[in-house]
Structure 1
Amino acid sequence: MKITFFSTKPYDKEFFDKVNQDFKFELEYFETHLGPHILNVIVHSDAVCAFVNDTLNAEVLESLSKKGVKYIALRCAGFNNVDLEAAKRLGIRVSRVPAYSPEAVAEHAMAMILTLNRKTHKAYNRVREQNFSLNGLMGFNLYQKTIGVIGTGNIGTAFAKIAKGFGAKILAYDITENQELKDLGIEYVPMDKLLSDSDIISLHCPLMDSTHHLIDKESISKMKENVMIINTSRGGLIDTKAVIDGLKSKHIGYLGIDVYEQEEKLFFRDLSHTIIEDDTIQRLMSFPNVLVTAHQAFFTEEALHQIATSTLTSLSNFEANNEFENPNAVLV
């Protein structure tokens, strides 16, 4: 099987080449993202491996089908960038990586909380300039604070366990309650109660029509003054304009985002020598109480190895018409 990869970086090639020693597929890598502009490079490929910001709409899928592509393997958990109805109509099988070290993302979410709270990033820069003053660096104890977790799948569950280890009170919201978390004393509550009672709110749910702009002007109005919001899931969960208004009014005290609604134009690229025309992200980064990381939460050795293994295993199962050990990996 020949697999053409898009949106690849050196670390992708390193881990996929290593894992592929067990599969013996023919791998072809392109750094550019997948879209109508690059389809001409696909020649005699059986499968395409795509990432979070690649475009897999009906137009692209129809072109891939005409080129003989039978499989789409997403090396990520999210699939909002794929027209699944079109894929089904065209007979293209689609897989994803539903779980690839949920602890990696959960730990990054907690790292963002600690960084925003204790201002370690600012302290680091100060000390390097021989400024040992503590003025402006005061934080608060996480102990006995209330942390709201929206979405308790694999990542949300891992995060809730970490947060509980700090001695915080954990409130959770999900359409399906996790009995393991309930046994640990974590309380499931209605969304409005989670919003109103939480000092910190961490988002761990997928992006769907029902969760698009979950954090908007109305939901922010229900939150505590000086609330901290963390998003390591999908940028579209947050209405960025509403959050900026919340920051300006000081209703939102802290914001940590590893994802951004328009990130496909920015993230995974070195833009240090260019002028960024996105005024919204520039405005966000101008706030001293906002921390932005560039879709880094998944980025651990363990997660990258699991992503490569799961992706190539899925394609092997498709090719051999085998059943999947994890049915959640199959989208079409």
Structure 2
Amino acid sequence: MKIVVLEDLAIPESDIRNIAKSITDQGHELTLYQKTDNIELQKQYVKDADILVIANMPLKGEVIRAAENLKYISIAFTGFDHVDLEACKERNIQVSNAAGYATIAVPELVFGMAISLLRSVVTLDKKIRYGETKSGSRQQEIYGKNFGVIGTGTIGIRVAKIALAFGANVLAYSNRENEELKSLGVKYMPLDELLSISDIVSIHTPLLPETKGLINKDNIGLMKPSSILINTARGPVVDTAAITNALKEGRISGACLDVFDMEPPLSSGYQILTAPNTVLTPHIGFATEEAMVRRTDIIFNVNIANWLKGEHHNKVI
């Protein structure tokens, strides 16, 4: 079969081919392309593909429909809202994601961002370079605070456990309660209650129709003026305009955002850029060197290798 990788997987080509060697040694062809936004080029690249690999580039229905031989898509990413799944269903194309590859990387960023905000690291870095002191900056701890986790899948579970290790009181909201977390003292509750009593709120839900705008003008109004919001999940889960206004009006204390309602680079007039007390990063939560290797291994040696044997791992559809 012909396997086409439609965009750079952020590790050297030689490493990709080495990871995929057990598959290509069976006679399967592997072709690698660099990402392009040109739809016609994408159609040309995929036209003979049996198996397609993408990361987080949008994959439109017209490209999927142009791939006449396509049978399987392996997404080198946790989220899958950037793929036209309806077009896949029309063609009976099976789809998997790379669940688990960022389970270490994303939680580490969550706490790096939280500490950066609570200890005013970004502000003080600038001050020290201009001969100033910590005067006027806030210094806070995670210990003893109510730490709310929205979504307790694999990443949310790890975030909750790390928060417990910091000595926080961990609260959770999810469509499925995790028994291990409950045994460790994590308390599940309705979303509105969690927002109203949490000092720190960290979001870990996928982007689905029911989670778009999950954090919005109305329920942001329930949060404490001293609270902070962290989003390393998907941008549209949070209403960016609402969180910007809440920050500017002092209705919440701060925000750490790695994702937005558009992919970086952000335009110079993008609203959150002018909000106070923020730590912003350009969608890096998943992007450690170790995670890039891990996801490539999942794509080839878990997803594709097992699919070729008739087994569907990390199933999306």
Q: TM-score, normalised to structure 1's length?
A: 0.87
**Residues 73 and 221 (structure 1), Cα distance of their counterparts in 2 relative to 1, 3 Å cut:** same
Query: Unaligned stretches of 5+ in structure 2?
Result: none
Q: How many residues align?
A: 312
1: CA distance between counterparts of 2:279 and 2:177? Answer: 30
The aligned residue for residue 48 of structure 2 is 44
Matches within 5 A, 1:125-140: 125-127=126-128, 129=129, 131-140=131-140
Contact 1:148–1:171 (8 Å) recurs in 2: yes
The aligned residue for residue 78 of structure 1 is 79
Note the alpha carbon deviations across 1:190-223, whole angstroms, 9 max, x for none. Answer: 1111010001110011111111011110010111
1: CA distance between counterparts of 2:136 and 2:12? Answer: 40
The aligned residue for residue 298 of structure 2 is 310
Note the alpha carbon deviations across 1:162-214, whole angstroms, 9 max, x for none. Answer: 11111111110111110100111111111111010001110011111111011
1:330 aligns with 2:315: yes
Note the alpha carbon deviations across 1:72-120, whole angstroms, 9 max, x for none. Answer: 1100111112232321220222111111141211111111101111122
Matches within 5 A, 1:153-232: 153-232=153-232
**Residues 286 and 15 (structure 1), Cα distance of their counterparts in 2 relative to 1, 3 Å cut:** farther
**Residues 229 and 85 (structure 1), Cα distance of their counterparts in 2 relative to 1, 3 Å cut:** same
Note the alpha carbon deviations across 1:230-271, whole angstroms, 9 max, x for none. Answer: 0011011011111111111111211111111111xx35xxxx
CA apart distance, 1:70: 2.2
Contact 1:204–1:231 (8 Å) recurs in 2: yes
Contact 2:143–2:168 (8 Å) recurs in 1: yes
The aligned residue for residue 271 of structure 1 is none
Task: Name the Cα RMSD after superposition.
Answer: 2.1
1:320 aligns with 2:305: no
Matches within 5 A, 1:231-242: 231-242=231-242
The aligned residue for residue 62 of structure 1 is 65
Secondary structure class of the residue paired with 2:20: helix
**Residues 137 and 152 (structure 1), Cα distance of their counterparts in 2 relative to 1, 3 Å cut:** same
Correspondence for 1:27 among 9, 31, 43: 31
2: CA distance between counterparts of 1:114 and 1:181? Answer: 23
Contact 1:231–1:256 (8 Å) recurs in 2: yes
- Identity score, percent: 33
2: CA distance between counterparts of 1:34 and 1:105? Answer: 30
